[in-house]
Amino acid sequence: MSTPEIKLDSLLQEDRVFPPPPEFARRALVSDPEVYARAEADPEGYWAEWAEQLHWFRRWDRVLDWQPPDARWFVGGTLNAAYNCLDRHLDGPRRTKPALLWEGEPGDRRAYTYEELHREVGRAANALKGLGVKRGDRVAIYLPMIPEAAIAMLACARIGAAHSVVFGGFSAESLRDRIRDAEARVLITADGGYRRGGVVALKRSADQAVEEEGGCPTIEHVLVVRRHGAAADSVGEAEMKAGRDVWWHDAVEGADAGCPAEEMDAEDLLYILYTSGTTGKPKGIMHTTGGYLTQVYATTRWVFDLREDDVYWCTADVGWVTGHSYIVYGPLANGATVVMYEGAPDWPDRARMWKTIEDYKVTIFYTAPTAIRAFMKWGTDFPAQHDLSSLRLLGTVGEPINPEAWIWYHKFIGGERCPVVDTWWQTETGAIMITPLPGVTHTVPGSATTPFPGIQADILSLQGECIPTGGGFLAIRRPWPSMLRGIWGDPERFRETYWSKWTGKAVGGSQPGEGVYFPGDGAKRDERGFFWVIGRIDDVLNVAGHRIGTMEVESALVDHPSVAEAAVVGKAHELKGQAVAAFVTLKEGQEATEELKKELSDHVVRKIGAIARPDAILFAGDLPKTRSGKIMRRLLKDIAEGRALGDTTTLADPNVVQRLKGEYEAKES
Residues that bind ligand PRX (CB under 6 A): 275, 321-322, 397-400, 422-427, 448, 519-521, 533, 535-536, 542, 547
SS3 content of the chain, % helix, strand, coil (to 5): 30, 25, 45
Considering the complex, state which of residue 294 and residue 435 has its C-beta at the smaller distance from ligand PRX: 435
Give buried/exposed letters for 541-554 (b at 16+ CB in 10 A, else e): bbbbbbbbbbbbbb
Considering the complex, state which of residue 56 and residue 365 has its C-beta at the smaller distance from ligand PRX: 365
Considering the complex, state which of residue 181 and residue 422 has its C-beta at the smaller distance from ligand PRX: 422
Contact 50, 39 (CB under 8 A): no
Tell the smallest beta-carbon distance from residue 545 to ligand PRX (Å).
6
Amino acid occupying residue 231 = A
Its sign, for the CA torsion 268, 210, 153, 125, is negative
- Report d(CA 397, CA 432) in Å as an integer: 9
Considering the complex, state which of residue 11 and residue 397 has its C-beta at the smaller distance from ligand PRX: 397
Tell me the CA distances in angstroms from 227 to 122, 342, 394, one per residue in order: 20, 11, 31
Tell the smallest beta-carbon distance from residue 100 to ligand PRX (Å).
21
Contact 375, 383 (CB under 8 A): yes
Contact 557, 590 (CB under 8 A): no
Amino acid occupying residue 214 = G
| DSSP 8-state code for residue 325 | I
Considering the complex, state which of residue 447 and residue 585 has its C-beta at the smaller distance from ligand PRX: 447
How many Cα atoms within 13 Å fall on the side-chain side of residue 469?
4
Q: What are the start-end ranges of the E strands in 574-647? A: 577-586, 616-619
- Closest-CB residue for ligand PRX? 427
Strand 109-113 and strand 98-103: the pairing is antiparallel
Contacts of 350 (CB under 8 A, 6+ apart): 375, 378, 382
Considering the complex, state which of residue 372 and residue 618 has its C-beta at the smaller distance from ligand PRX: 372
- Report d(CA 419, CA 18) in Å as an integer: 8
H-type helices in 304-351, by residue range?
321-323, 330-333
H/E element, 36: helix 34-41
Task: Dump the DSSP string for 526-578.
Answer: -TTS-EEEEEE-SSEEEETTEEEEHHHHHHHHHTSTTEEEEEEEEEEETTTEE
Tell the smallest beta-carbon distance from residue 539 to ligand PRX (Å).
13
Tell the smallest beta-carbon distance from residue 528 to ligand PRX (Å).
17
Considering the complex, state which of residue 48 and residue 318 has its C-beta at the smaller distance from ligand PRX: 318
Considering the complex, state which of residue 294 and residue 299 has its C-beta at the smaller distance from ligand PRX: 299
- Report d(CA 4, CA 11) in Å as an integer: 15
Tell the smallest beta-carbon distance from residue 397 to ligand PRX (Å).
5
Tell the smallest beta-carbon distance from residue 120 to ligand PRX (Å).
27
Tell the smallest beta-carbon distance from residue 532 to ligand PRX (Å).
8
Tell the smallest beta-carbon distance from residue 169 to ligand PRX (Å).
13
Considering the complex, state which of residue 170 and residue 583 has its C-beta at the smaller distance from ligand PRX: 170
Tell the smallest beta-carbon distance from residue 367 to ligand PRX (Å).
12
Considering the complex, state which of residue 78 and residue 367 has its C-beta at the smaller distance from ligand PRX: 367
Tell the smallest beta-carbon distance from residue 408 to ligand PRX (Å).
16
